[in-house]
Amino acid sequence: MTQGPTRDVVDSIGETKGAHRSSVNRRLRLEAQANVVRTRLARRVDALRSRARDLRDPSIEIARHPMTATIVCGVAALAIGASVGLATIRVSTRRERIRRAKWDAWVRIVAHPERVSPARSGFLSTTLKRGLTGVFVAALAAVTRHYVGKLLEDAHAVPESLPYLLTSPDPFPPPRRADGGSR
């Protein structure tokens, strides 16, 4: 662990003459320790950078965790297959469902004309309404997050009376009457 200048080199320079020898030795020891810490820190930073590069590359992560990648791909394929199957069934049985709903509506009208309810909206329109509502809420949340973030970052957004409110013993005194008395 002799990374700094040796004692012979320092003696030849003339820095270690007399009473300064112990402070120079201490300085050399500290420099050597600092060099060791710098070397370790540089190695760790390099290791973290290479790990960050590896994490951004999906092929390396798939090679590291093949079983997890297989499970995730299988679940995704199953979800997509189930969605396509459900949509196919819904489309293929649509005419039957519409015919049955119309028949049930006529039966209700004849049996109880006072209790006839409006027709239910279809699967596609309901899904579109819910999807558009979700998109609207997500956009509204993003805009709100943006403006609240700007408001919090803005140093002028703090009201001028805030320090008074935080330091006064009674920040909200009772209102005074015109004659000087309270309430």
Model pLDDT for residues 43-66, shown as the tens digit of each residue? 999 988 888 888 888 888 888 888
pLDDT of residue 31: 92
Q: What is the 3-state secondary structure (H, E, C) of the chain?
A: CCCCCCHHHHHHHCCCCHHHHHHHHHHHHHHHHHHHHHHHHHHHHHHHHHHHHHHHCHHHHHHHCHHHHHHHHHHHHHHHHHHHHHHHHHHHCHHHHHHHHHHHHHHHHHHCHHHCCCCCCCHHHHHHHHHHHHHHHHHHHHHHHHHHHHHHHCHHHCCCCHHHHHHCCCCCCCCECCCCCEC
**What average pLDDT does the segment 168-174 reach?**
59
Residue 161 has pLDDT above 70, yes or no: no
pTM above 0.75, yes or no: no
pLDDT-based confidence at residue 109 (cuts at 50, 70, 90)? confident
pLDDT of residue 100: 92
